[in-house]
Structures are given as C-alpha cells and as structure tokens.
Amino acid sequence: PEGILGDCLVTYGKKLGDDSVFGMAMFEFGEGLKQMADVKYALDDTTKQSFLEPLHHLQTKDLKEVMHHRKKLQGRRLDFDCKRRRQAKGTHGSEIGKTCSNIPDDEIRQAEEKFAESLHL
C-alpha cells in the first residue's frame, strides 16, 4: 500500500510541475513512501528467511525426529527393565519351574547397550 501511494504521489507531483511547491512536496513525500515500502518488504523477506522458515522446519522435521527417538528410547528402556526384572525373578525364585525365565547376561548387556545408545541421541 505504501509503495502504490508513493507511486501516485510521484506521478501527480510531476504533473503539477517543478514550479509548484505542493507538487515538489508530493514528489518528495512519494519518493519517501516508496523507499519505506522497499525497506518494509526487505524486512519481511529477511524475517521470513531467517526466522519463520527455520521455525517451520523445526516444527515439521526436527520435532518429529525427536519424538521418534523418544519413543525408541522408551521402548528400549522397557525392554531392558523387563529383562533385568525377569533375570532377578529367575535368580531369586526358588521354584523349580520358573528357572526357564532366566535370561542370559549377554542378552541383558546387549539391551543395556541399546538403551545407552538411544539415551545419547
């Protein structure tokens, strides 16, 4: 809007002529409005490129990736806790039939490593 008004003021200021003080004032004010419009549009473009687009990228891509990693971490934590609990039950339980729930230490160590790997992401 400022640019269009500036163009109109410049055009009709020229039509009034150089000898008219009002015409010169219209011309100069119109030039000022056009410069102000250029600065405004440049600021809008800069704001969009340096703030809004990165924010949109963060919202659409990065946050989804973080949520995926959190879900993966939660699953690995549950797996590790479950295996530890089953191993503890197997070693502390004195019932003969429940010794089959023993989980090898290697499997627990592997689950712990996966959990630690996910934790560092």
Q: Which domains does the chain have, with CATH numbers?
A: 2-120 (1.20.1270.60)
What is residue 35's DSSP assignment?
H
- In this prediction, residue 98 has a pLDDT band, given cuts at 50, 70 and 90, of very low
CA distance 17 to 20: 6
Confidence check: pLDDT of 95 > 60: no
In the predicted model, what is the mean pLDDT of the chain? 86
Residue listed under structure tokens 């010169």: 24
Cα of 16 vs its chain's centroid, Å:
54
Residue listed under structure tokens 């039939």: 97
Query: Cβ(70)–Cβ(112) under 8 Å?
Result: no
Query: Cβ(34)–Cβ(6) under 8 Å?
Result: yes
Confidence check: pLDDT of 58 > 80: yes
Query: Cβ(1)–Cβ(33) under 8 Å?
Result: no
Q: What is the mean pLDDT of residues 90-111?
A: 65
pLDDT value at residue 1: 86
